[in-house]
Chain A
Amino acid sequence: MTDKPKNILDITGTVLNIQRYCSHDGPGTRTTVFVKGCSLRCKWCGNPESIRMKPEVSYDPNKCDGKKCSICLKAPFPEGGFYFVEGDDSKVKVNWTLAAGINQEIVSLCPTGALEMFGKTMTVGEVMDEVEKDTSIYRNTGGGMTISGGEVMLQPDFAAALLQEAHNRGINTAIETASNAPWSFLEKVLPHVDTMLHDIKLMNSERHKKWTGVSNERILANLKKAYETFPDTDFIARTPLIPGVNADDEHMLGVLEFIKPHKNVIDYELLPYHRFGLGKYDSLGVIYELDDYKTPSDEVVKRFQTMIDKAFGRELTTE
C-alpha cells in the first residue's frame, strides 16, 4: 500500500468527466464531478462508461476515417483488436475481447479521436481548479459542486478530500450515491456533504438483487444511519422510474414509509427512465440488458408524483 499524500490537494482519484452548469444535481447551478467505478450493475444504467473502475477504451465510428487511416490495425495496437469487414463501409470494427487492456498511450495514436479512454487520474487540486472557475455562479444561484458517478463511495478518500477542500473554499457540496458501500466509507465522506441525493431503486430486496446485482439491506441500513447520524445534512431520495421494474405502488409507498420519519429527507424525486445509454453501450462493447423497456408514461409519473406531493404536504406540482 502506498503512503497517503500529506497534502489534501495531492490525493488522487479516477475521474470520468467534469461538467459545468448542471442544474439537476443539487441546489442551484453546479459543477458535477463524475467519478468512475460503480458497486452496482443496474440493468438500465444510462452511464455504462462509469461502471468499471479502471479507465477503458471507447470507440465512436462517426469519427473514424476507416481504411484511409488503418493505424489501429498495426502495432502497437493489440493484434486482432481492430478489423474491417469485407464489403462493409469504411469504418473500423472493434473486437472488444482482444482490444481489452489497451492503454491511453496507444489510444492517443488514433488521429481522429474515434478511440478515446474513459476515465483519468486526477488530483484534488486539479479538480478544484476546474470547479473554482464558476464560484461566482455558485454564489448567485446557491449552487456548488456535486460528486456523481459511478459511485462516489468507491473512492471515499478522494471524495472526502474533494468535498473538504470545496468547503475550505466556501463552495456548497452535494453527492449522488446509491450507498452500496461499507458504512465506514459513508462515515468518511458525509461530514463534508451539504446535500446527499441518494437512490432508492427498489424496496423489495430480492427484486433489488435481480435488477442491480445486490440485495438492498445494507443500502437501507446505511441510509437510515446516515439520516440519524447527520441531522444537519439535507437528503433527497430518488428513484429511476422504470415500468416493469419499480413503477408500482408497492415501491412508492415503501419508499415514502421509509423516508417519512426523517425530517432531513427534504424531498423524493422521480427520474423517469430514459434510454440515453444505448449508444454508449455499443461504443464500449457492453451488452445492454434492458433494451425492451420503455419510458414511463406521463400518467404514471403524474400518479406517483401526486403520491409524493401528498406525503410531503405539498400542493400538486403536476398539471
Chain B
Amino acid sequence: MSTDTGQKRVAIMVGAGYIPGINAVVAGASLAAGKLGWELLGILDGFEGLLHPEKYPNGGLIPIDPQKFNIDPNTGSVLGQSSRIDPFNVRTINELGMVEEVDMSDELLTRLKAENIDAVISIVGGRGLSILYQLHKKGLNAVCVPRSIENDIASTSVAFGFNTALTFTIEMLDRARLAAKAAQKIAVVEVLGEEAGWIALQAGIAVAADAVLIPEIPVDLQHVVTHLKNKMSGKKSWGLVVVAQGAKIINPGKTEEKVSTLKASLSPLATSDSNSEFVIHKSGQVAQAVAEGLQLRIAEETFPMVIGPWVRGGTPSAVDRQLGVAYGAGAIQALEAGRNGVMVAFVPPDVKFVPLAEAINKVRTIPTGSMFFQVADSLGIYVGNKEA
C-alpha cells in the first residue's frame, strides 16, 4: 500500500507462454523498484497466483528482492508458465461438476486490494494488452510491457523477444541454405509471422534468400517460380525460399485441405467438402503448401522445413536482455511519474509511455514503403511486391 513517503507495493505478471527475456524485465523492474524503496511481488502463472492462491504453497505471490534476484537468463520465467491470463474468462468447475468460464475480474481487483497492491506490471502480447485495458477501465492501475516474437505490437519500435527470434532464425536459415546447396535442392523454410513478416523479411535479407513470402503481400507462386528459374538459370541449381507462417499464397497448386465449418457442426463423421477458405495457418502448413506448389512448376526438388516453434525458447540475445531490463525499469518509471493505463514503448531514442487505448487494435506490419523492401530488391530477393 502506498505510504506517506510515496512507497508503493507493485506486482508483476507475465502473459501466456515463455518468451526469451522475461527475467530481464523482472530484473529491471526489481532493481528500479528497489532504488525507490518500493516492494515488488511476482504473481505466478499469469493471474492464477492471485485468483487461486490455494494452489500454491507460497500463496501464489512471491517477493522479488532486488538484492537476491538472479538475472540468470537460463532459468526460464521466474513467474511460472501460464496458458491463459484472461480474468474475464476463467475456466472453472462449478458446483454441478461442469466446466464453465466465469468472469473473475472483480475477484482479481478485490484480491489486489486485499494484498495492498497499488499497481500491476504486465508483460503481455497483443491480446493481453486488450485484457489489461479492460481491467484498467475497471480500476486497475496497470503498466504493460510489450512482448512479441513477431514484433507485431504497434506503438513500439521493438518488443522484447523479437531480436532473439530473429537471431536464431538467421542461424537456422544459414544452415538450411547450406543444406539446400549441398543437396542441390530448393529449401522452403517456414518462420514465425502470423500477421507481420518482420522475421521472414529481415532474416531473409540477412541470409540473402532467393524469395521471402510475407503476410503483408499476397504472392502468386507462379511469380516466385519465374524468379527462381531466372536465378537458377546459370550454375546455381539450388534455392532458399523463406515463408512466414501467415503468408498469403495465391494459386498454391495443391490446395490446402478445406475446412467445412458447416459440416463440422453436423456430425463427427461428416466429410470435408466445403469451399470455405477460412482456416487457421498451422505450423508447417504453409511451408508444405509452397514446397508442393513449387514442385509442380519447377524441375529442381523442393523440400519444406519449419523453424517456427524452435525460436520460442532459449537464452535472450544481448539486445533482448538489455531491452527487457529497460522495459522493466521503464514500467517502474511510468508508475513513479504517476502514469498508468499505459504501455512502455521504445521509440528511438526514447522510452515512452503509450496509453493502452492507443496501443490496442493495431498490428505492426511492414509498411508498403519500407526500406527493407528496397534492400531486398537490390539483393535480388523476390518479396512479391511486383511481378518477377
Contacts and interface: CB of A to CB of B under 8 A. Distances in A.
B367 A87 contact: yes
Interface of chain A, helix or strand or loop or mixed?
A: loop
Interface in A263-291: 271, 274-283, 288, 291
A2 to B, nearest CB: 19
A88 interface: yes
B363 A88 contact: yes
B283 interface: yes
Interface stretch (B227-235, B274-282, B314-322): B274-282
A34 interface: yes
A214 B99 contact: yes
Contacts of B282: 278, 291-292
Given A87-B367, A279-B259, A95 B360 contact: yes
A280 B267 contact: no
B296 interface: no
B270 interface: yes
B264 interface: yes
B280 A276 contact: no
Interface of chain B, helix or strand or loop or mixed?
A: loop
Contacts of A212: 99
A301 B130 CA distance: 44
Contacts of A22: 266-267
B195 interface: yes
A309 interface: no
Interface in B232-291: 257, 259-261, 263-270, 272, 276-280, 282-283
Contacts of A19: 265-266
A22 B265 CA distance: 11
Contacts of B75: none
Interface in A25-46: 25, 32, 34, 38-41, 46
A97 B93 contact: no
B137 to A, nearest CB: 10
Nearest to A238: B268
A222 B33 CA distance: 55
A80 B265 CA distance: 30
Contacts of B336: none
Interface of B: 86, 88, 91, 93, 96-101, 127, 130-131, 133-134, 195, 216, 257, 259-261, 263-270, 272, 276-280, 282-283, 357, 360-363, 365, 367-368
Given A86-B367, A282-B279, 17 more contacts: A22-B267, A24-B268, A34-B265, A38-B99, A49-B265, A62-B278, A80-B361, A85-B195, A87-B365, A88-B363, A98-B360, A100-B88, A214-B99, A218-B97, A276-B270, A278-B259, A283-B278
Interface of A: 16-17, 19, 22-25, 32, 34, 38-41, 46-47, 49-50, 52-53, 60-62, 80, 83, 85-88, 93, 95-98, 100, 154, 180-182, 212-214, 218, 240, 271, 274-283, 288, 291-292
